[in-house]
């Protein structure tokens, strides 16, 4: 099974072998940083890539991607289904996830036009990032 990124780096060690893909406007963006500094940063980037990728978008790895947008707006989706789908993707494609406690939590709220979903990703019981999907 294909894996994203590197797996042999430590949490506190310089990552040094994975490029920082963040852009201006992203939380924590630093224009002077080209490489990710820690394994947790690598893991966060891998998870973000999974969340924003649709299945069959990556040539040669058709199962990579959480199909997040399709899941959120599907009539049949539940919080548990979305959480399980994301966690399966993380376990399958993020090698560093084996060394950390990673959790995905989804909550739906009633919006004025349509429902809103909030996704929080925690690594070792600390919220590392979240998404609001309207």
Q: Which pLDDT belongs to residue 29?
A: 75
DSSP 8-state secondary structure symbol assigned to residue 98: G
Chain position carrying tokens 């429902």? 115
Q: Which pLDDT belongs to residue 102?
A: 94
CB 117 within 8 A of CB 72: yes
Rounded mean pLDDT of 23-41?
Answer: 78
pLDDT class of 17 with cuts at 50, 70, 90: low
pLDDT class of 62 with cuts at 50, 70, 90: confident
How far is Cα 132 from Cα 28, in angstroms, rounded to an integer?
A: 17
Is pTM beyond 0.85? Reply is no
Of 18 and 101, the one with more pLDDT: 101
């Amino acid at each position: 099974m294909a894996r994203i990124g590197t797996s042999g780096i430590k949490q506190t060690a310089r990552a040094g072998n994975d490029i920082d893909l963040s852009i201006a406007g992203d939380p924590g963006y630093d224009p002077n940083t080209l490489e990710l500094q820690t394994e947790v940063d690598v893991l966060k980037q891998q998870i973000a890539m999974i969340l924003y990728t649709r299945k069959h978008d990556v040539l040669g790895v058709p199962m990579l991607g959480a199909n997040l947008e399709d899941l959120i707006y599907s009539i049949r989706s539940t919080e548990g289904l979305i959480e399980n789908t994301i966690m399966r993707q993380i376990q399958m494609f993020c090698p560093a996830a084996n060394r950390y406690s990673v959790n995905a939590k989804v909550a739906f709220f009633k919006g004025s036009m349509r429902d809103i979903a909030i996704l929080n990703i925690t690594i070792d019981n600390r919220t590392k990032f979240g998404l609001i999907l309207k």
